[in-house]
Structure 1
Amino acid sequence: MFFNKSIEEVLKELDVSPEIGLSQKEIELRKEKFGLNQLESKKPKTLLAMFFAQLNDILIYILIIAAVISALLGETSDAIIIAIVIIINASVGIIQESKAEKALDALKKLSTPKAVVKRDGQVTEIPSKEVVPGDIVIIDAGRYVPCDLRLIETANLKIEESTLTGESVPVDKDAMLALTGDDIPLGDQKNMLFMSTLATYGRGVGIAVSTGMNTQIGKIAKMLDENVDSETPLQKKLAQLGKYLGIGALVICALMFTVGVLQKRDLFEMLLTSISLAVAAIPEGLAAIVTIVLAMGVQKMIKEKAIVRKLPAVETLGSVNIICSDKTGTLTQNKMTVTKFYTGNTLQDIGTLDINNNEHKLLLENLILCNDATYSENSKTGDPTEIALLVAGVNYKIFKDDLEKEHKRIDEIPFESDRKLMTTVNKYDNQYYVMTKGAIDNLLKLCTKVYIKGNIVEITPSIKKEILAESNNMSDDALRVLGAAYKIIPTNHVEIDSLESDLVLIGMVGMIDPPRLEVKDSISLCKNSGIKTVMITGDHQNTAFAIAKELNITTDPLAVMSGNELDKLTDEELNGKIDNISVFARVSPEHKVKIIKALKSKGNIVSMTGDGVNDAPSLKMANIGVAMGITGTDVAKGAADMVLIDDNFSTIVSAIREGRNIFTNIKKTVVFLISCNLGEIVALFLAILLGWASPLRPIHILWINLITDTLPALALGVDPGDPDVMKYKPRNPNDSLFKGSSISLLLNGMLIGLLTLAAFVIGAKYYNGDTSIFPLFPKDIKADALEHAQTMAFVVLSVSQLVHSLNMRNDKKSIFQIGLFSNKYLIAAIVFGIVLQDSIISIPFLANAFSVHDLTLADWGIVTGLSLMPLLINEIVKIFKRNSLKI
């Protein structure tokens, strides 16, 4: 830390003379010791590494084992189909990952290309990467800071630090400022400059105290490089589901082997049967389908003006219950705006200013003429505070260029940070107006009179007290207050020293970085949806609270915590208080990460929004990081999961709505696939337990799981969203994926399995001309009869699952209530699936590959009746559900 050391101590510690700078020999030694002044980047993953990373999933492991065993046993077609789905799933993941993780590269680009330094007594310009600790660095307006500096000399220096600290206005810097203590926030270290911040005014000289990864930006880079738990609730649940399914598959295989031994079956046949059951237990297409549904969700999100960089972020949005938001540029417009003005003992909104009122007009002219900034629709330069004053004039058709042509500037006293004043002399016909603006406390000391309602009167103690009270009121509302004063002199030949004396106070203006107009409604909608908004900003406490109060984030001053207070708390103490805090002010990047960790430790699903470099680590730490697309830095975008195209906080609400609907659709897809696979297990398990031949071949199950099931599953993934989805509270991330669907899943799985067995029995007995009820299944069934029975079972299993997809659209409303054709993709998927199924059994070479044959008209009547049973039974059940809930 160098901010709490004197200039002499820093010069001595870094062994450098401010007049001469470092020698060439010393520079080379320090380059060896400290390295280049640039940020390290993470070694990019190879294509092979990304491919293997995509295979690191228990579902994929089981599929690979199944494929290998199938290949060894000669079931080549099964092995090929499994291999194809594994490759497709990995390829989709690689395409997504290849676009991600550019945060550190963006940080490197922030390093400025050139720096002005003093070396061997000569001022020279060098690439900024060659700056070493101890270099004497010169900073002037418009130049980026090349590294962290301890200032040794300043002249009205102002630095734009919003991307690092969140400070909404440029910070005055003072080399001679003495700071004590170790816990001073970055924004208050007024004698320091930080890498990649921008000088907007004045000049300064500093000693390079930290370079490269040791700078504040470098610390952020290190935090971005830390590995964090980035798994979403759905990913965790699918991983857990994969483990359960894997264990279930192994248990089923063991049971079947035991049954085979007891029934004295052929062990090779039992091994094939066990593989069939294992395949039936695992929905092979699940991983790929969820990835594809999320990818389709990404396309929908783009229409909502949100670009999703990482697929799982779509699902995470649906479970968010806390939105942590930066203030500057996210909740606010990131531009200083004049909102209030005070003249004639009256404080008013700027919208009520009357340009025909001489007092009002003179106030505006003062603030525009006594101003060094420039502003037009296409460009703006200068201090944001001064730009705000010019914009106020533009709103009343008063333009600086036109006004300065009419009232030429004759003389001036530039702004100085110690005086906090600026003065110009402008010609008004045959007179000269001295225009002075600045901090109201300093300005009042120079004023002897005040302009009140067309009259110039002496400033009395009561008038002065009233003016200061109004100024304090504006300050309490987090407004930045500037006063304006003038006097008329007959000639431009005047001593500079006497310009700022005997002034007439015109009035004051209050300005602030105002909230976005639509944000208040969005925060209210979030609150009604069970989502809490927390403001985390580097700005001052009173400013943060004023904005929070206006946006209805909180009205309780005790719900605000500063960075200094945060430093004094242990992680456990913060965890105990975190639920009651809605605003964190004057915080550093490290604080933001600490806050996110505390919120996540309480089981919250946290979204963090921001735009600056200082937001990047917390964007990465959050369950979902949301960066601003327009004002956001490349660093923030690189660290985020999602980028808002329009920088609109309200877009987050739209994204959450979409995320909730997408999760619901994914849940429909998963429950549909598991219930269908359960049907396959029931059919196979019961048949083998009863000593029957297998009703299905492994290739039948793979075909249904990968082709027939996949189409309706994908169609369910794009089911129209629930219009009332934002009326519900966020789902508990600890809830089971099958909450509210378990009984339906089990019953429908059993129903599909029993219907498949019914088709198998009917097919076997009907083929042999057997019309008896008992025994259920012939003991000695011939190959052609078995093939016929398996064909009917294959068709019923496939088509009944296609029909069952209609039940999944809503667990209470009838398919006819929500509209049979309201999801045209699903209808198309069902029709296409039936056509594919018919092609399998009617096209000879396909029928041979699948060991099936075409069915008669009577067969089709039987399988059609059995396949429609899931829809009929579910519609009856839904009638009772609606009656009990009075829907």
Structure 2
Amino acid sequence: QALQSLKELAAPEARVLRDASPQWIPARKLVPGDIVFLEAGTMVPADLRLIESSRLQIEEASLTGESAPVTKDAECTLDIAAQLADRHNCAFASTKVTYGRGVGVVTDTGHSTQVGQIATLLESDEDPPPLERKLERFGRTMGIAVLGICGLLFFIGLLRSANLSMLFSQGLSAFWSAQRETVTGLFIVAVSLAVAAVPEGLPAVVTMTLALGTQKMLRRNTLVRRLPAVETLGSATVICTDKTGTLTQNRMTVRQIWTASGLYDFVVPESAPLRLAITLAGEKVRLEDHPVLERTLIVGTSCNDSELTPEGKSEFIGDPTEGALLIAARDACLDLQERPARICEVPFDSKRKRMATVHDAAALSEFGASSSKAIAFVKGAIDGLLPLCAKIETAVGTESMSSDWQSAIQDVNDSMGRNGLRVLAMSYRILEQVSSEPDAEEVETELVFLGLVAMQDPPRPEVAEAVDKARRAGLRTIMITGDHAATAAAIARQIGILRPEGIVLEGASLETMSDEALSAQIDQIDVFARVSPQHKVRIVEALRSVGHIVAMTGDGVNDAPALKKADIGIAMGITGTDVAKDSADMVLVDDNYASIISAIEQGRVIYDNIRKSIFYLLTCNFAEIAILFIATLLGWPLPLTAIQLLWLNLVTDGAPALALAVEREEPGIMERPPRPTDEPIIDRRMLRGFLVQSSALAGSILGVFTLALRGAYSSIAGTMAFATLVLAELLRAYSVRSEDIPVLQLGWRSNRFMQVAVLSSAALLLLVLYVPPLPALFELGRLTRGSWLFVLPFALIPMLATEARKIIQRAWRRREQV
């Protein structure tokens, strides 16, 4: 499905130069060297080196992670090691032209293109998830053990009951004729033992546990596409996450404005009804009391091609940076209803890195130039705009732009950049006259500098707490982004991802590192910036090579290979492409990092419940093996038959095991470190409980069976053993709900599904004991009141033994802590 979605991104046709004239041909017929024409609205049909560009902008978000369209420049030259997102003189297959036009030479087609290389990576085989590997290993071990035990029991029986000397003296035919009944009986015993050993209900229980878990995870904004990923998420040790939209709000916001009067902080409200607060030196200020700040915002909203939308729709239409200026001005109570009419403009281009608009001076009384004809507003990058400014606006008027002012402005700009803020400079010029189509030289000279506007895509409010919660749970979060290193580091530091000793590594440096060097340093790197799709796959492989279970988030086409390579691929539901979703194991409905932590918590709960179900089923199975094995060794009649064992394994044990699947999380589940990747499903701690409960079960059943055989109930001894085992299992189900917490502390009624399971299984026991023809079918007798007085106390022993073990274990742990 991922490959099919990738194919759908390809352009079906291309406009090329053939036979000295432009013509449309199928994109699959393109070859390196073809000249391709690009215009707004078309898909790029192949990887191109641009030879002409006119205001060309291409949407590359799905390929590089850049949220805004990238401005292309055919004349720029780049270093040979330039990363994909920095190749401004190239266009890439399956990206979309959003503005302008261009001409390029085809450099790569098909699988040689950047998107084609992603398709190649998607064709690689997937590794099975950890749960699948553990269950397979567990099943293999158990199968070998069962065959060994059955074979051993059969061989011991032959030694005890059959005359093996006849086999060697008279031959196989004579031996079989004489010992047929004995050998057949021993074979039935061995088969019964195999039936007892195999937990027939286990596949259904595991599948149901995972399926029920997916429903709970959907309520936590996580849609699971592959069932085993539910458990895998709970064992994750590292979360590799994108920045934009996942850790941040995917909404550019004005955070600071600097003018000659000082640095103004724009405090973003946490709840929607509240308005923006502007502070200067920690004190709230009003816009009308600070004219230079007001003029800075007027320039930002007038030299602007975006538009605010009506209430109830998206907040603006247009460029995110310009939209942020409009929203900041609106929230600062600047009247935007009558923005000054534009006379003419000098559009933005990548060389100047600025744009200029010219307006009627009469409509802009705030600038005190009503007698002049026009005012030019210029907005752009500080490095190109500051040298054009001859003056600076202060609270008392304009001053000459001295070297001191230039140094101060540059220092503020550098400080904002180090904090990961995107900075734009605002300036203006009063014009006595202006031509109908002015050029940049006419407008962008002798400018008056107003201020610096610093913007940022702010972190989601809940992310810092979620990152801290993940850290307490032993989960490390790594930011992987196509953004610049300074911006990524600032956000990572702000939300707690970047540790004091943590490393920020750029794609260019990663490119020169060997796989061995990356694996050696991977645990010290907290942020990867300016990375390519191939880099993401290398990062995942490096983490997995040192034993991590990796959860990787992504939304673009470029993320698909890494999503598939990771142990858990998590696609974004809102911004994610179909390619990313098809490659992922699960989809975040709300694109929120906090939902990942919530899903990991649920994944841990699911794994715990799977272990509880397996523990519950296998304890009974091995108790059954012990019962049959000991009875055979002692030469007793078999306490349980094969059909009774099937009933126990499928009917009696099945319902409580399913009820364990919906058990709630235990306290402190997110305070535990992730499970070791090589930890078996039955670990040492569970094995100790396993031995205690299996021994208690086997001892109880053999005890009641022995008393019945030697007393007045010898005719129904097997029935008493069967009833005791069923009731012991139902009572023990309450105790298995937690490995540490006593059942009285958990509460008998806290899992209502367990009540239904136990009562229904108890009703089925009475049905099979007393309703004809079921007793005859299951080879059971009729229990009397006196026999129940033996059955009930022995049925309580396994649960009491389990509860006693919990109490002793907790007391021992408290003693060790003291």
TM-score by structure 1 length? 0.82
Asked if structure 2 preserves the Cα contact closer than 8 Å seen for 1:170 and 1:384, the reply is no
Q: What pairs with 1:414-813 in structure 2 (closer than 5 Å)?
A: 414-429=347-362, 431-493=373-435, 496=439, 497-556=441-500, 559-739=503-683, 740-766=685-711, 785=715, 788-813=716-741
Tell me if the contact between 2:129 and 2:229 (Cα under 8 Å) persists in the aligned partners. Answer: no
Equivalent of residue 248 in structure 2, options 332, 336, 345:
332
- Which whole-Å deviations, capped at 9, do the CAs of 1:840-876 have from their partners, x for residues lacking one? 1222122232222332222222222221221233333
Which residue identity does 2:566 align to in structure 1?
A: A
Give the whole-Å Cα distance in 2 for the aligned partners of 1:607 and 1:486: 50
Q: Quickly say closer, same or farther: Cα 1:131–1:707, change in 2 above 3 A.
A: farther
Deviations 1:620-641 (A, max 9, x none): 1111111211112222211111
Contact 1:589 1:614 in 2 (8 A): yes
Tell whether 2:57 aligns with 1:158.
yes
Cα–Cα, structure 1 residues 381 and 564, in superposed 2: closer, same or farther, change >3 Å? same
Quick one: distance in 2 between partners of 1:457 and 1:599?
A: 57
Describe how 1:112-151 pairs up with structure 2 within 5 A.
Answer: 112=11, 115-124=14-23, 128=27, 131-151=30-50
User: 2:141 maps to what in 1?
Assistant: 244
Distance in 2 separating the partners of 1:593 and 1:653 = 22
CA-to-aligned-CA distance 1:378-405 (integer Å, 9 cap, x gap): 35544333333233333345576x334x
> What per-residue deviation string (whole Å, max 9, x for no partner) do you get for residues 348-406 of structure 1?
22341743232222212212221223342535544333333233333345576x334xx
Residue correspondence of structure 1 range 273-288 to structure 2 within 5 A: 273-288=189-204
The SS at the match of 1:283 is coil
Residues 318-356 of structure 1: per-residue CA shift (max 9 Å, x gap): 221211111222222233332221112522223417432
Q: Distance in 2 between matches of 1:130 and 1:189?
A: 25
Mapped to 1, the partners of 2:508 and 2:558 lie a distance apart of 17
Give yes or no for contact 1:682–1:754 (8 Å, CA) kept in 2: no
Q: In the TM superposition, what is the alpha-carbon distance from 1:167 to its structure 2 partner? A: 3.0
How far apart, CA to CA, are the structure 2 residues paired with 1:288 and 1:621? 28
How many angstroms does 1:260 deviate by? 2.1
Change (3 A) 1:120 1:370: farther
1:299 matched to 2:231? The reply is no
SS at match of 1:365: helix
Identity level (%): 43
CA contact under 8 A between 2:309 and 2:317: conserved in structure 1? no
Contact 2:245 2:592 (C-alpha < 8 Å) held by counterparts: no
* Structure 2 counterparts to residues 340-359 of structure 1, below 5 A: 340-351=256-267, 352=278, 354-356=286-288, 357-359=290-292
Deviates more, 1:548-557 or 1:836-845: 548-557
Q: Deviations over 1:538-577 (max 9, x none)?
A: 2222222122222221254761112222222222221111
Change (3 A) 1:764 1:656: same
Q: Deviations over 1:757-808 (max 9, x none)?
A: 2333344444567xxxxxxxxxxxxxxx3xx332222221222111111121
Residue identity opposite 2:579 in structure 1: V
Q: Secondary structure at the match of 2:338?
A: helix
**1:174 equivalent in alignment to 2:73:** yes
Q: Post-superposition shift, 1:116?
A: 4.0
Q: Which residue of 1 aligns with 2:758?
A: 830
Deviations 1:796-846 (A, max 9, x none): 122211111112122333211111111111122111111111111222122
2:101 is aligned to 203
Q: How far apart, CA to CA, are the structure 2 residues paired with 1:375 and 1:136?
A: 40
2: CA distance between counterparts of 1:200 and 1:516? Answer: 29
Judging changes above 3 Å, is the alpha-carbon distance between structure 1 residues 823 and 557 closer, same or farther for their aligned structure 2 residues? closer
> What is the deviation of 1:678?
0.8
- Count of residues in correspondence between the two structures: 764
Instruction: Give 3-state SS (helix, strand or coil) of 2:455's partner.
Output: strand
With over 3 angstroms needed to count, the CA separation of the structure-2 counterparts of 1:393 and 1:575, relative to structure 1, is same
Residue matched to 2:773: 845
Which of 67, 75, 84 is matched with 1:186 structurally? 84
Indicate the SS of the match to 1:695.
Answer: coil
Structure 1 segments unaligned to the other structure (5+ residues): 1-101, 770-784
Give the conservation status (yes or no) of the 8 Å contact 1:326–1:536: yes
Contact 1:166–1:327 under 8 Å retained in 2: no
* Cα pair 1:337 1:511 within 8 Å, conserved: yes
Aligned to 1:67: none
> RMSD of the TM alignment (CA)?
2.2
In structure 2, distance between residues paired with 1:808 and 1:600: 34
1:466 Cα deviation (Å)? 0.9
Q: Rate the CA distance shift 1:140–1:509 in 2: closer, same or farther, 3 A.
A: farther
Write the distance in 1 (CA, Å) between the matches of 2:188 and 2:667: 48
* Change in CA separation of 1:322 and 1:283 when aligned onto 2, cut-off 3 Å: same
The TM-score with structure 2 as length reference comes to 0.89
Distance in 2, Cα, partners of 1:474 & 1:715: 56
CA deviations 1:456-507 (Å, max 9, x no partner) are: 1111111111111111211222222211111222444475442221111111
Q: Structure 1: how far apart are the matches of 2:801 and 2:61? A: 62
| Change over 3 Å in CA distance of 1:191–1:768 after alignment to 2 | closer
The 3-state SS of whatever aligns with 1:413 is strand
Letter in 2 for 1:250: L
In the alignment, the residues of structure 1 paired with residue 499 and residue 699 of structure 2 have an alpha-carbon distance, to the nearest angstrom, of 61
SS at match of 1:393: helix
1:57 aligns with: none
* Aligned counterpart, 2:344: 411
Q: Paired residue for 2:157?
A: 260
Q: Does the Cα contact within 8 Å between 1:248 and 1:281 map onto a contact in 2?
A: no
Shift of 1:512: 2.5
Report if the CA contact (8 A) 1:112-1:196 is conserved: yes
Instruction: Provide Cα deviations, 1:708-732, integer angstroms capped at 9, x if missing partner.
Output: 1111111111112113211222222
Contact 1:117–1:126 (Cα < 8 Å) also in 2 = yes
Q: How does 1:318-329 map to 2 (within 5 A)?
A: 318-329=234-245
What is the CA–CA distance in structure 1 between the aligned matches of 2:723 and 2:14, rounded to whole Å? 75
Q: Answer yes or no: is the 8 Å Cα contact 1:330–1:610 preserved in 2.
A: no
Say if 1:375 and 1:202 are closer, same or farther in 2 by CA, change over 3 A: farther
Name the aligned partner's letter for residue 253 of structure 1. Answer: C
The amino acid of 1:147's aligned partner reads: A
Structure 1 residue 264 displacement after superposition: 2.3
Distance 1:330 1:128 in 2: 35
Q: Distance in 1 between matches of 2:736 and 2:530?
A: 50
Counterpart-to-counterpart distance in 2, 1:687 and 1:549: 66
Structure 1 residue 683: deviation in Å?
A: 0.7
Structure 1 partner of 2:309: 376
Partner secondary structure for residue 734 of structure 1: coil
Offset of residue 681 of structure 1: 0.3
CA distance in 1, matches of 2:148, 2:323: 72
Q: Secondary structure of the equivalent of 1:587?
A: coil
| Secondary structure, counterpart of 2:106 in structure 1 | strand
Which sits farther off after the overlay, 168-177 or 713-722?
A: 168-177
User: Is the CA contact 1:345–1:467 (under 8 Å) kept in the aligned structure 2?
Assistant: no
Distance 1:476 1:242, change over 3 A: same
| 1:267 Cα offset (Å) | 0.9
